[in-house]
Amino acid sequence: MADKLSAVKGMNDIAPPVSAHWEWLEDTLRRLMQRYGYRNVRTPIVEHTALFVRGLGEVTDIVEKEMYSFEDRLNGEHLTLRPENTAGVVRAALEHNLLYDGGKRLYYMGPMFRHERPQRGRYRQFHQVGAEALGFVGPDVDAELVVLACDLWRELGLEGIELEINSLGQPAERQAHRQALITHLELHADVLDEDAKRRLHSNPLRILDTKNPAMQAVVNAAPHLMDFLGAESLAHFTRFRELLDAHGVAYRINPRLVRGMDYYNLSVFEFVTTQLGSQGTVCAGGRYDGLFEQVGGKPAPAVGWALGMERILELLKEQGKLPEQPAPDAYAVVPDAASVGQVMPVLRALRQQGIAVQMHAGNADGMGSMKSQFKKADASGARFALIFGSDELAQGRVAVKPLRGPRPEDGDAGAAAQTLQPLDDLAAWVEILRSR
């Protein structure tokens, strides 16, 4: 007997009933994106490794430690399973000249891959939804994206999500801050851990994001990037805040807020919660005006965000906001296997009219007892049972029995009773199955 195979560590199956929650969340996101004018874009899961090295930054954690990269054994190309999708969307926009007639609002959803330690809300194959506004320079679109996310929390009924914002300025301003930051950190080299020492001259901004308690005093005393911003960067950030204020969006300025990719500039933001332990960020993004040029195109402004679907679903579960499992409108009880050929066309006609019907499935011994079929009908969550007994079929009828709510056999005078309905005139009674 062959060894039992299982999923790769950190890459999980999503099966019923959990998959229904994913479908519900995806549908909610699609409807919201459509209302805001964002259109779906789908990019390959596999991209050239150079896209992420150039786009994310050679010394970022993702590129250095987390990417699933390999050499194509057929042609020697260096390829990578996408660790994020902003770079891929920009690559697609350039390759297909999507901005030829002006800016585009796009969204995506799908799996990403990073080799990191699996934990709650963080997996090696994880799923993101991203909203990307390409070709728009003003802070109005930055604010629009934040408001879009706030509307998503409202539609999902989520509470306790807080917004943090910051400005990273422009590259020259960050460079001046970078030099001041290195000088400050070098004065406290004895306090820096090995990770900080490694990053000191390659990516010192990321040191500000350390979780090491021994370094917090040094980090808190470090120069603030905001103090190095010029007039234009400050004006962009001020207008961004004014627009959030106009929408009544509460936020906190976090001067230590940085992003893990090198392509960000100006506005950056994160939505965070304290209800998911260490994985507190549920949605994050910002402006990345330099990315088009980094991956080989003409400069173009851009801003966007991405959220982790696993984390959103975890938060919905934590707050008891997940919807009930979907159930069919009706369950077909078929006592005699010989009747299946007559019953199935009726069920198909009902489905064509938008009625969700689940038919009882038989086995080698027949269809099973009426008692077992009604037990399965009740477990399905259906509101009605359709009983295709031999007597009913001989009359050209089906018995429609309510399964939910008060029942006449319990002595409730107002309860709906079982009725007989004609098979040759579905329109006469299909509304019964649609009733809630």
Q: Say if residues 286 and 257 touch (Cβ distance below 8 Å).
A: no
Grade residue 263 by pLDDT with cuts at 50, 70 and 90. Answer: confident
Tell me the residue range of the domain where 58 lies.
Answer: 18-169+229-318
Does residue 369 form part of some domain? yes
Q: Say if residues 263 and 294 touch (Cβ distance below 8 Å).
A: yes
pLDDT average, residue stretch 192-200: 87
DSSP state of 279: -
Tokens of 89: 């969307």
List, for residues 327-356, the tens digit of each pLDDT value. 999 999 998 888 889 999 999 999 999 999
List, for residues 11-23, the tens digit of each pLDDT value. 999 999 999 999 9
The pLDDT assigned to 121 comes to: 67
Of residues 37, 26, 39, the one with CA closest to residue 107:
39
| Tally of domains in the chain | 2
Shared domain check, 163 and 94:
yes
Does residue 76 form part of some domain? yes
Q: Say if residues 192 and 229 touch (Cβ distance below 8 Å).
A: no
List, for residues 204-233, the tens digit of each pLDDT value. 877 887 888 888 998 889 998 888 999 999
Does residue 4 form part of some domain? no
Grade residue 413 by pLDDT with cuts at 50, 70 and 90. Answer: very low
Grade residue 412 by pLDDT with cuts at 50, 70 and 90. Answer: low
Of residues 22, 9, 13, 110, the one with CA closest to residue 317:
22
The pLDDT assigned to 370 comes to: 85
Mean pLDDT of the chain: 90
Give the Cα-Cα-Cα angle 242, 226, 150 (nearest 5 degrees).
Answer: 40
Does residue 10 form part of some domain? no
List, for residues 110-152, the tens digit of each pLDDT value. 999 999 887 776 789 999 999 999 999 999 999 999 999 999 9
Tokens of 382: 């259906």
CATH number, residue 44: 3.30.930.10
Does residue 2 form part of some domain? no
Shared domain check, 237 and 135:
yes
CATH number, residue 351: 3.40.50.800
List, for residues 10-60, the tens digit of each pLDDT value. 899 999 999 999 999 999 999 999 999 999 999 999 999 999 988 787 767
Grade residue 416 by pLDDT with cuts at 50, 70 and 90. Answer: low
In percent, how much of the chain has pLDDT > 90?
62
Shared domain check, 422 and 297:
no
Tell whether the torsion through CA atoms of 125, 129, 133 and 137 is positive or negative. negative
List, for residues 151-183, the tens digit of each pLDDT value. 999 999 999 999 999 999 988 888 898 899 899
Please report where in the chains the tokens 């477990």 appear, as a residue.
Answer: 379
